[in-house]
Structures are given as structure tokens and as C-alpha cells.
Amino acid sequence: MVFAKERRVKLKSEIKSGFIKTLDFFLPRFCTGCDNKLSVEENFLCDSCFEDLEYLTDRQLFNYFDEFFPPGSPVNAFYSILPYDIYLPARKIVHALKYEGRVQFSKLIAKIIVSSKYFESYYSENSILIPIPLNKVKKIERGFNQTELICKEISKLTGIEVSSSVLLRNKFTDTQTKKTKEARILNLANAFTIADKKANIIQNREVIVFDDVITTGATINAAAAVLGKYSNEPVKALSFAVTL
Ligand SMILES: [Zn+2]
């Protein structure tokens, strides 16, 4: 019986790889990093680009922690994986996901995060992942919230619980980019609320608030401030990348 089941699984994967082989013949897939043709086993990023990814160093992580989360910040731990800059793979991957709507790239991002050096020691059974919500207009325009997709993929790989209904984004009447830095921070301070009926989900839990890319830390600090009030535990921050 077990044998039969295994055989079926094997057959299924053979059919799948045969299918991909045929597809690759007519419609080759290319690596996001180097534009070389991908093999049947590879997805989005070729093995050599995956191995060559340049992770943020410990020193960079320390420095960014100090910069983004100075004393008084509600965030007490921070982890991020890749530098984000023009020509770097992290930017290409995030762009493909956010602006080309290639939602399957959320799997690649989750894989990179989960297989990174410190991730395994960054969460526990008491952790809950909270993606930064998009404002409603943006979510409708884009059709999805990329941080939510990535968190769900991380959860599939690790079993960490995810909730995207606890943290809500308040309505904005004007866009952030037109404001001065001070006005932006003030504006952000009121950007998030906790859904009353869902607040118990995070009570006494170690909240890990997730954003795809951190640029100034203002967004994630604003979110952590409201999350920390309800969780009664220190809040951790996690991102896929950090703007250089
Ligand atoms: Zn490549």
C-alpha cells in the first residue's frame, strides 16, 4: 500500500517534470538573477544565483537595527535577509511580485527567508506573523497584498501562525510621498489599528511584524506600536530586504 502510494507520487512528479520539460521547450523560463535558461528543477532563480545571493552581514544588521529602531522604539529585535538596491536580485524579485503581479515569487521570497542563517532561531511556538497591511485602494489596484502572500508561504514552510486580520490600515486621504519627513512620521503614527474582535489572537504572543522592504523603519515602528499594546510582549520586526 505504502509502495503504491509512493509510486503514485513518483509518477505524479514524473508527469509534472515531463510537463515542465515540454513547456520549457516551447516557452523557456529564465532566471530572475542572471537571465540564463532555468533547468526543469529550478524555479525563478537558478541554483548558482541562489547560492551567490549576498546576504546582509551581521554588522549591517546591527547598524540597521540602531538606525531603524532607536531607544524608545516598540521593536526589540530585527532580522532581514538581503540588501535592496538597483541591479540586486532582491529588487528584481520584489518588483516581479509587486509590479508584474507574478505572485508565485512570494514562494521564492519565503524560501530565501526560511533558509537564511538566523531564521530558525528567530521564532518560537509562541510566535505569530503579522504582515503589514496595504491600504485598501492599493490592495484593490494590485489585487493582492504581497506581505500577506509571503507570510502565508513562510507559514507553509515552517508552521508559524499568520494572521492578516488583526492589524488594519486606516484610510489615507493623501499620499505619503508629498509630505515632509516629520509630517510623514506623524501621519504614520495613526496609520494602523487593531481589529477589536481579533485582538485576543495576539494576546501574550510574540508578534513578528513583517514587511517586504524596510526603507526608514517608520511604517514597521508604527505598526509595532499598536501591536505591542495588545500583545503585552516585545515585538520583533522581520523583512525580506533593506534599502541600501
Ligand atoms: Zn541565475
β 192-194/167-169 pair status: antiparallel
Range with lowest mean pLDDT among 50-59, 64-73, 128-137, 187-196 = 187-196
In this prediction, residue 162 carries a pLDDT of: 98
CB 22, CB 48: distance < 8 Å: no
Q: At what angle do helices 89-98 and 146-158 cross, to 10 degrees?
A: 110
Count CA atoms within 13 Å of residue 158 on its CB side.
28
User: Is residue 44 one of the residues assigned to a domain?
Assistant: no
Helical H segments across the chain, by residue range: 2-26, 47-52, 58-68, 89-98, 105-114, 136-142, 146-158, 181-189, 218-231
CA 205 to chain centroid: 20
Q: How far is the CA of 108 from the centre of ligand 1 (A)?
A: 13
Q: How far is the CA of 112 from the centre of ligand 1 (A)?
A: 14
Q: How far is the CA of 164 from the centre of ligand 1 (A)?
A: 33
User: Is residue 93 one of the residues assigned to a domain?
Assistant: yes
For the chain, how many structural domains are there in total?
Answer: 1
* Coil, strand or helix at 237: strand
Percent of the chain with pLDDT over 90: 68
pLDDT digits (tens, 9 = 90+) for 76-134: 999 999 999 988 889 999 999 999 999 999 999 999 999 999 999 999 999 999 999 99
Determine the structural domain holding residue 73 and report its residue range: 55-243
Cα 97 to Cα 93: distance, rounded to the nearest angstrom: 6
Using the predicted structure, report yes or no on whether residue 138 has a pLDDT greater than 90: no
Tell me 208's DSSP state: E
User: Is residue 196 one of the residues assigned to a domain?
Assistant: yes
Q: How far is the CA of 12 from the centre of ligand 1 (A)?
A: 27
Range with lowest mean pLDDT among 33-47, 68-82, 143-157, 173-187 = 173-187
User: Is residue 222 one of the residues assigned to a domain?
Assistant: yes
User: Is residue 35 one of the residues assigned to a domain?
Assistant: no
Q: How far is the CA of 165 from the centre of ligand 1 (A)?
A: 36
Using the predicted structure, report yes or no on whether residue 8 has a pLDDT greater than 80: no
In this prediction, residue 130 carries a pLDDT of: 98
In this prediction, residue 211 carries a pLDDT of: 98
How much is the pTM?
A: 0.85
Q: How far is the CA of 220 from the centre of ligand 1 (A)?
A: 31
User: Is residue 42 one of the residues assigned to a domain?
Assistant: no
pLDDT band at residue 32 under the 50/70/90 scheme? confident
Cα 211 to Cα 96: distance, rounded to the nearest angstrom: 16
In this prediction, residue 16 carries a pLDDT of: 67
Q: How far is the CA of 91 from the centre of ligand 1 (A)?
A: 14
User: Is residue 83 one of the residues assigned to a domain?
Assistant: yes
Grid cell digits, residue 136 = 485598501
pLDDT band at residue 23 under the 50/70/90 scheme? low
Q: Give the CATH number for residue 121.
A: 3.40.50
Q: How far is the CA of 122 from the centre of ligand 1 (A)?
A: 28
Q: How far is the CA of 160 from the centre of ligand 1 (A)?
A: 30
User: Is residue 21 one of the residues assigned to a domain?
Assistant: no
* Coil, strand or helix at 238: strand
In this prediction, residue 65 carries a pLDDT of: 97
DSSP for 114-142, written as a single string? HTSTTGGGT--TTEEEEEPPPPHHHHHHH
Neighbour-count burial for 206-244, b at 16+ CB within 10 Å, e otherwise: bbbbbbbbbeebbbbbbbbbbbbebbebebbbbbbbbee
In this prediction, residue 2 carries a pLDDT of: 46
Cα 216 to Cα 220: distance, rounded to the nearest angstrom: 9
Q: How far is the CA of 131 from the centre of ligand 1 (A)?
A: 29
